[in-house]
Amino acid sequence: MAKPFKIPVSTLVVVYTPALEVLLIERADRPGFWQSVTGSQDPGESLRQTAIREVAEETGLDAARHALADWGVSNVYEIFAVWRHRYAPGVTHNTEHVFGLRVPARVEVRLAPAEHLRHRWLPWREAAREVFSWSNREAILMLPEKDSLLAFGRPAP
Protein backbone atom coordinates (compact mmCIF):
# COMPACT_ATOMS: atom_id res chain seq x y z
CA MET A 1 0.00 0.00 0.00
CA ALA A 2 1.36 3.41 -0.98
CA LYS A 3 2.22 5.85 1.76
CA PRO A 4 -0.07 8.92 1.78
CA PHE A 5 1.47 12.18 0.66
CA LYS A 6 2.80 14.51 3.34
CA ILE A 7 0.90 17.70 4.10
CA PRO A 8 3.06 20.74 3.19
CA VAL A 9 2.63 22.22 6.67
CA SER A 10 5.17 21.48 9.39
CA THR A 11 6.52 22.49 12.76
CA LEU A 12 10.08 23.35 13.75
CA VAL A 13 10.69 22.96 17.49
CA VAL A 14 13.80 24.54 19.03
CA VAL A 15 14.48 22.48 22.17
CA TYR A 16 16.63 24.42 24.63
CA THR A 17 17.72 24.86 28.26
CA PRO A 18 17.54 27.97 30.49
CA ALA A 19 21.26 28.46 29.68
CA LEU A 20 20.20 28.70 25.99
CA GLU A 21 21.85 25.43 25.01
CA VAL A 22 20.09 24.03 21.96
CA LEU A 23 19.46 20.39 21.13
CA LEU A 24 20.53 19.47 17.59
CA ILE A 25 19.90 16.13 15.92
CA GLU A 26 21.68 14.70 12.87
CA ARG A 27 19.52 13.35 10.04
CA ALA A 28 19.97 9.64 9.28
CA ASP A 29 19.13 10.14 5.59
CA ARG A 30 21.64 13.01 5.28
CA PRO A 31 24.62 12.53 7.62
CA GLY A 32 26.16 15.89 8.49
CA PHE A 33 22.78 17.68 8.30
CA TRP A 34 22.06 18.96 11.81
CA GLN A 35 18.68 20.38 12.75
CA SER A 36 16.12 21.02 15.45
CA VAL A 37 13.03 18.81 15.70
CA THR A 38 10.88 19.11 12.57
CA GLY A 39 7.95 17.30 11.08
CA SER A 40 4.86 17.51 8.94
CA GLN A 41 1.36 17.94 10.23
CA ASP A 42 -0.90 14.89 10.16
CA PRO A 43 -4.52 15.23 9.00
CA GLY A 44 -6.73 16.70 11.73
CA GLU A 45 -3.84 17.75 13.99
CA SER A 46 -3.38 21.23 15.42
CA LEU A 47 0.10 22.73 15.08
CA ARG A 48 0.64 22.24 18.83
CA GLN A 49 -0.29 18.55 18.50
CA THR A 50 2.15 18.22 15.61
CA ALA A 51 4.94 19.79 17.67
CA ILE A 52 4.25 17.50 20.65
CA ARG A 53 4.10 14.38 18.46
CA GLU A 54 7.28 15.21 16.55
CA VAL A 55 9.24 15.94 19.74
CA ALA A 56 8.13 12.58 21.15
CA GLU A 57 8.92 10.67 17.95
CA GLU A 58 12.32 12.25 17.39
CA THR A 59 13.64 12.65 20.95
CA GLY A 60 11.47 10.59 23.29
CA LEU A 61 10.61 13.76 25.25
CA ASP A 62 7.07 14.63 26.35
CA ALA A 63 6.78 18.26 25.21
CA ALA A 64 3.50 18.66 27.11
CA ARG A 65 5.47 18.35 30.38
CA HIS A 66 7.69 21.31 29.57
CA ALA A 67 7.28 24.93 28.43
CA LEU A 68 6.14 24.61 24.81
CA ALA A 69 5.46 27.96 23.13
CA ASP A 70 4.21 28.82 19.67
CA TRP A 71 6.53 31.64 18.66
CA GLY A 72 4.04 33.02 16.14
CA VAL A 73 6.58 32.72 13.35
CA SER A 74 6.04 30.92 10.08
CA ASN A 75 8.31 30.44 7.09
CA VAL A 76 7.51 29.36 3.56
CA TYR A 77 10.32 27.59 1.78
CA GLU A 78 10.90 25.48 -1.29
CA ILE A 79 11.02 21.77 -0.51
CA PHE A 80 14.40 20.29 -1.42
CA ALA A 81 14.08 18.26 -4.63
CA VAL A 82 15.45 15.16 -2.88
CA TRP A 83 12.41 15.15 -0.54
CA ARG A 84 9.71 16.39 -2.98
CA HIS A 85 8.52 12.86 -3.84
CA ARG A 86 6.98 12.68 -0.35
CA TYR A 87 4.40 15.31 -1.36
CA ALA A 88 1.58 15.32 -3.88
CA PRO A 89 2.60 16.06 -7.48
CA GLY A 90 3.07 19.78 -8.03
CA VAL A 91 3.70 20.62 -4.36
CA THR A 92 6.95 22.58 -4.19
CA HIS A 93 6.67 24.68 -1.00
CA ASN A 94 6.09 24.03 2.69
CA THR A 95 4.86 26.34 5.46
CA GLU A 96 6.78 25.79 8.67
CA HIS A 97 5.56 27.03 12.08
CA VAL A 98 8.17 27.69 14.79
CA PHE A 99 7.86 26.57 18.41
CA GLY A 100 10.25 26.69 21.35
CA LEU A 101 10.48 23.96 23.99
CA ARG A 102 12.26 24.96 27.19
CA VAL A 103 13.47 22.00 29.22
CA PRO A 104 15.00 22.41 32.72
CA ALA A 105 18.50 21.21 31.73
CA ARG A 106 20.24 18.97 29.21
CA VAL A 107 17.80 16.07 29.32
CA GLU A 108 18.34 12.52 28.16
CA VAL A 109 17.26 12.07 24.56
CA ARG A 110 16.11 8.85 22.87
CA LEU A 111 16.53 9.22 19.10
CA ALA A 112 14.47 7.41 16.49
CA PRO A 113 17.29 5.47 14.75
CA ALA A 114 15.53 5.49 11.38
CA GLU A 115 15.41 9.29 11.49
CA HIS A 116 18.49 10.51 13.38
CA LEU A 117 22.04 9.33 14.05
CA ARG A 118 23.31 11.51 16.90
CA HIS A 119 22.37 14.45 19.08
CA ARG A 120 24.28 17.19 20.83
CA TRP A 121 23.63 20.23 22.98
CA LEU A 122 25.33 23.45 21.84
CA PRO A 123 25.29 27.09 22.95
CA TRP A 124 22.68 28.90 20.84
CA ARG A 125 25.11 30.89 18.64
CA GLU A 126 27.11 27.75 17.83
CA ALA A 127 23.92 25.78 17.18
CA ALA A 128 22.75 28.46 14.73
CA ARG A 129 26.00 28.02 12.76
CA GLU A 130 25.65 24.22 12.64
CA VAL A 131 22.14 23.80 11.22
CA PHE A 132 21.72 23.33 7.48
CA SER A 133 18.40 25.17 7.15
CA TRP A 134 18.15 28.96 6.98
CA SER A 135 14.79 28.90 8.77
CA ASN A 136 16.24 26.79 11.59
CA ARG A 137 19.17 29.22 11.86
CA GLU A 138 16.82 32.21 12.08
CA ALA A 139 14.69 30.48 14.73
CA ILE A 140 17.72 29.73 16.91
CA LEU A 141 18.92 33.33 16.56
CA MET A 142 15.52 34.47 17.95
CA LEU A 143 15.97 32.32 21.04
CA PRO A 144 17.23 34.95 23.53
CA GLU A 145 14.30 37.27 22.74
CA LYS A 146 11.66 34.53 22.74
CA ASP A 147 12.97 33.00 25.97
CA SER A 148 13.03 36.36 27.76
CA LEU A 149 9.32 36.79 26.95
CA LEU A 150 8.65 33.34 28.43
CA ALA A 151 10.72 34.15 31.53
CA PHE A 152 8.64 37.27 32.16
CA GLY A 153 5.42 35.31 31.88
CA ARG A 154 4.36 36.71 28.54
CA PRO A 155 3.65 34.38 25.66
CA ALA A 156 6.08 34.62 22.77
CA PRO A 157 4.43 36.68 20.01
- pLDDT band, very low/low/confident/very high, at 156 (cuts 50, 70, 90): very low
Rounded Cα gap, residues 48 and 45, in angstroms: 8
Fold that domain 9-151 belongs to in CATH: Nucleoside Triphosphate Pyrophosphohydrolase (3.90.79)
Q: What is the DSSP letter of 80?
A: P
The answer to whether the CB of 99 falls within 8 A of the CB of 13 is: yes
pLDDT tens digits, residue range 13-39? 999 999 999 999 999 988 999 999 999
Question: What are the boundaries of each domain within the chain?
Answer: 9-151
Rounded Cα gap, residues 101 and 83, in angstroms: 26
CA nearest neighbour of 105 among 34, 26, 15:
15
pLDDT tens digits, residue range 135-153? 999 999 999 999 987 655 5
Per-residue pLDDT at 3: 79
- pLDDT band, very low/low/confident/very high, at 157 (cuts 50, 70, 90): very low
- pLDDT band, very low/low/confident/very high, at 1 (cuts 50, 70, 90): low
Mean pLDDT of 60-64: 96
pTM of the full predicted structure? 0.91
pLDDT tens digits, residue range 87-133? 999 999 999 999 999 999 999 999 998 999 999 999 999 999 999 99
